[in-house]
Amino acid sequence: MHLRFDKGGLRFFFFTAAIRGRRPVLSRIVPVTGRRAAACAGWGAEPSRAGEALIALWRGVHGRDPFLTASNFAIMPDHVHFLLLVDYRRAPDGFDLLGWWLRFRRAAAAAIAPILGGGPEAVWEEKYWIMLLNAGTSLPSVRHYIRMNPARKKTVPQHEPEIASILERAKSGAIPVSGFLSPGEKRVLALLRAEPDTRWIRAVPHGLPPRFDPTVEESRFLAAGRQLVLSSFPTEVPEFPVSWDNCHIMNDRILAMCARAGAK
């Protein structure tokens, strides 16, 4: 496969790779205090020995290839995010980004495998993600996504204080808005449903067809005026398979909607 794009200057690439079997072997999510806490919502990833080996390899990218700069990264328990800057003005002719990434993955697997036990072939999932950041993708947004990744990957028990706060505000008249897709969000929804007077808005990352068939349980809450289902996608956008790009778009629109409501 060859990646085709304008190679006339500086380009940023966002990489994601997952550990085979999604084993949580690279880090653990822990509370963060001090100045760093404000930038990452109070949660960070504490790397394991395997995670530290991966960080060392990533930070050495520029030393091995001066036209490459290792930018932001997140070493999550079972996957990694990397943001790479490529200066094509200094890169050798014919530099193959995909080939470089596959070599980096192999080097990472060789470094991690002895720590985890097993061979390099058992380190990574076969599938991975590469995204070129162009005019349609905000670089600050991607950096924010990487920085906030640990906070989004907390377990449900770690989310309990926030869940309790959301529930108390909902009981006082606030209306939570969410896709209710993650385990923590589903916990919030279950608690909202158990209260007699709470209301909420469920946004969906797909279009709503002319005939929308909610579940029997959802129909009960819709009929009682406690739940509102909203979509900002065209009707032809399918519900399945779930598009994670649509989920991110949905989240951005929810934040913008709430910001406008709060400004009134």
H or E segment and range at residue 200: strand 200-203
Q: Is the pLDDT of residue 201 over 80?
A: yes
The residues spanned by each domain of the chain are: 10-152, 156-263
- What percent of the chain clears pLDDT 70, i.e. is strictly above it? 95
Q: How confident is the model at residue 134 (pLDDT cuts 50, 70, 90)?
A: low
Provide the mean pLDDT of the chain.
89
- Would you state the pLDDT for residue 99? 93
Better pLDDT: 7 or 52: 52
- Would you state the pLDDT for residue 264? 67
Q: Is the pLDDT of residue 135 over 60?
A: no
- Would you state the pLDDT for residue 230? 93
Hey, what CATH topology would domain 10-152 get?
Alpha-Beta Plaits (3.30.70)
pLDDT (average), residues 146-169? 85
Instruction: Give the model confidence (pLDDT) of 210-255 as tens digits.
Output: 887 888 888 999 999 999 999 999 999 988 877 777 888 898 888 8
Q: Is the pLDDT of residue 176 over 90?
A: yes
d(CA 77, CA 241): 26
Provide the strand spans (E) within 88-139.
124-133
d(CA 237, CA 37): 38
- Would you state the pLDDT for residue 161? 87
Better pLDDT: 55 or 22: 55
